[in-house]
Amino acid sequence: MKKIILLIAVVLITLTGYSQSAKEYFERGSRKIEKKDFKAALAEFDIAILIDSNYADAYYNRANAKYILKDLEGAIADYTKTIEINPKYIMAYFYRGYVKNDLNDYRGAIEDYTKAIAIDSNLIEAYKCRGNAKWSIDDYKGAIADYNVVLNVNTNDDRSYINRGIAKESINDYKGALNDYNKSIEINQLYSKAFYLRGLLKMNSFFEYNAAIADLTKAIQLNPKDAATYSKRGIAKYNLLDYNGAINDYDKSLEINSDNSEVYDNRGLAKIKTEDYKGAIKDYTKAIMLNPSDTDAFYNRIYAKRIIIDTVEIMNECNKGIELFPNFPKSYLIRAIIKMDIHDNDGAFSDLNKAIDLNLNYAEAHYTLGNLWYNNKNYRGAISEYYIAIDLKIEHKDVYYYKGLAEINLLDKEIACKDLHTAAILGYTKAFDAIEKYCK
């Protein structure tokens, strides 16, 4: 979430009752804070407090200086002492909450922001910060309520629209989130994050890839050094089957940040689609170097190697993968596919059943087991597995095609033709020839 920028409110007031000497040191320290000489300011406040141990403003300003010098625990101690001396010291609660937020003590931060609001319900910054802290503990509705207060007071706060939109996304209120991102952009068309977030929302929740690309492109124009935006635009292009365009975006992302294993993973997928298997293998190898526990990269590399490298070498790599990830269903799925390539059907059955034992809802394993049954002319077994894969929302368009062919072999033409038409609608081109042959 976007943090509220900390504006240190240096106390320059002097109160009657303090000794002249303590007051002088306090004022000297305050002037040094204004000049950004924070270490020297600390020394002045130390002396002021030594002279007058109940000097609340001195503790408060010393806390501010400690915060800027990244002594967060020291800052909290001084804010706490300020509050002990003056329980109504509103900004001490506010900034103590701010420091607690930096220390990931979100619940403690919320308590302090709430106390500040109890003293002055018009302290809008406290609502903003409390909303951010609530978001951090997954209290999305509570965060939205706080952002509502902020936006009721200031309808032109573009960042609060962004924050509320993020919270709405978190509770699957995608239309509400989109409205908030739109409003933020109406107010400020120069904030790249608003276009970035709206682009991601359009891509991931509305599947509007062209619209997502337009927003991400605008974000790049506003902030051309953001590696993540290029990477996300690459994903949108990949989903539109623009694999070369996706690769170009992944290239740019990696020029900016060469240590993101996920981008190497995604570029490897795009390279497989363009039949650049050696390039894909190189990308997956780099991804594994950056993240040795990246199972997707490990097995996607095996897929790529399967096209161009000797089967024995690939089988050895599969076995190594199972040693590394013995409870990872994909380990057994990929070894099963390699075994199917060399017609080791019994071994393939064993591995697929193991994959399904590890994850009963593993759609890819059910789909592959269906293919194995189909290849062995067990059409009823194939149809049963295809049904499960479809129920689990398998992404392969050809599942309806092969299910239809299995139904043809069982002489159930009506269901078969329905499946073949579904495959055709999904864009599986082989289905058109099958429809011409079996469904006329």
Split into its structural domains, the chain has a count of 1
Question: CB of 39 within 8 A of CB of 55?
Answer: no
Residue 63 structural domain: 10-87
Q: What 3-state DSSP class applies to 368?
A: helix
Ramachandran angles phi, psi of 69, nearest 5°: -85, 10
Does 73 map to a domain? yes
20: pLDDT confidence band, cut at 50, 70 and 90?
low
pLDDT digits (tens, 9 = 90+) for 87-119: 999 999 999 999 999 999 999 999 999 999 999
pLDDT score at 2: 41
- Separation of alpha carbons 398 and 420, rounded Å: 9
pLDDT score at 39: 95
pLDDT score at 8: 45
Higher pLDDT, 12 or 38: 38
| Nearest CA-CA partner of 132 in 114, 120, 117, 146 | 146
pLDDT score at 13: 39
pLDDT score at 15: 41
Instruction: Say what the pTM is.
Output: 0.74
Residue 396 pLDDT greater than 90, yes or no = no
The proportion of the chain whose per-residue pLDDT surpasses 70, expressed as a percent, equals 95
Does 421 map to a domain? no
Does 20 map to a domain? yes
Higher pLDDT, 385 or 318: 385
Which letter does DSSP use for residue 274 in this model?
A: T
Residue 175 pLDDT greater than 50, yes or no = yes
Here the CATH number for the domain that contains residue 37 is 1.25.40.10
pLDDT score at 18: 43
Ramachandran angles phi, psi of 407, nearest 5°: -65, -40
pLDDT digits (tens, 9 = 90+) for 178-211: 999 999 999 999 999 999 999 999 998 898 999 9
Does 79 map to a domain? yes
Position 199: which residue type? G
Residue 12 pLDDT greater than 70, yes or no = no
Residue 218 pLDDT greater than 60, yes or no = yes
Tokens of 49: 């407090």
Position 30: which residue type? S
Does 154 map to a domain? no
Does 80 map to a domain? yes
| Nearest CA-CA partner of 140 in 113, 167, 160, 115 | 167
pLDDT digits (tens, 9 = 90+) for 312-324: 777 888 888 888 8
Higher pLDDT, 341 or 255: 255
Does 263 map to a domain? no
Does 168 map to a domain? no
